[in-house]
Chain A
Amino acid sequence: DVKVTQSSRYLVKRTGEKVFLECVQDMDHENMFWYRQDPGLGLRLIYFSYDVKMKEKGDIPEGYSVSREKKERFSLILESASTNQTSMYLCASKSPGLGRGYTFGSGTRLTVV
């Protein structure tokens, strides 16, 4: 089974801190994604990557950046955390092609105080 591992289940950070959320997948997938989930808004795409060092903005990239130095690892970076970035963050990976095959991590609940 494909595994997508997010390094932390819960995080509490202070306003202004630089925050790294890590995601690692073990199936050599090219495509990786970062979403944030908020009540009533569903999941919204922050950034995605289709290859090492390749990244594209999603629907809500403001305040975030990403890094993909190795195929298996996709990091989400909050350069200066703010309280409105308090949310659940979900990472996913996918093999090429249109069909099924998305695998999600278990999520990181980030609280910025």
Chain B
Amino acid sequence: AQKITQTQPGMFVQEKEAVTLDCTYDTSDQSYGLFWYKQPSSGEMIFLIYQGSYDEQNATEGRYSLNFQKARKSANLVISASQLGDSAMYFCAMSFTGGGNKLTFGTGTQLKVEL
């Protein structure tokens, strides 16, 4: 069974600093995808970044990058130059082709950006 682990229930970061949100996963599948979503207090789920298991380079989307370490089964999200608007819940998730494309989520990390 697939499992996603996020060990940081809450994180604080100063504005303009970089922050890393941890995510580890467990799967026996070779073909899978890793996602990060942001959920502000409004409740909407905002897609941030995607990494395929066969992608050789780490994914980047603007200020977001995914530090993919396949051997360690780790997919940490790095947010550079944090902004107050980055304060939100962040979820790591995984999908795999054998599972009907369902997403399995971690428990989330609540990030607060401070002045």
Contact = CB atoms under 8 A, between A and B. Distances in A.
Interface of A: 31, 33, 35, 40-45, 48, 50, 56, 58, 88, 90, 92, 94, 96-100, 102, 104, 106-107, 109
Given A99-B50, A106-B43, A92 B103 contact: yes
Contact of B47 (A96, A98, A102, A109): A102
Interface in B6-35: 6, 9, 31-33, 35
Contact of B50 (A96, A100, A106, A109): A100
Given A45-B104, A100-B47, 10 more contacts: A31-B101, A41-B107, A42-B106, A43-B91, A50-B101, A94-B101, A96-B101, A98-B52, A102-B103, A104-B45
A92 B39 CA distance: 14
8 nearest interchain CB pairs?
A104-B45, A42-B107, A43-B105, A100-B50, A42-B105, A107-B43, A98-B33, A31-B101
Interface in B56-75: none
A17 B109 CA distance: 34
Contacts of B96: 98
A44 to B, nearest CB: 8
A98 B35 contact: no
Contact of B33 (A41, A43, A99): A99
A42 B7 CA distance: 12
A41 B6 CA distance: 11
A112 B75 CA distance: 37
A107 B44 contact: yes
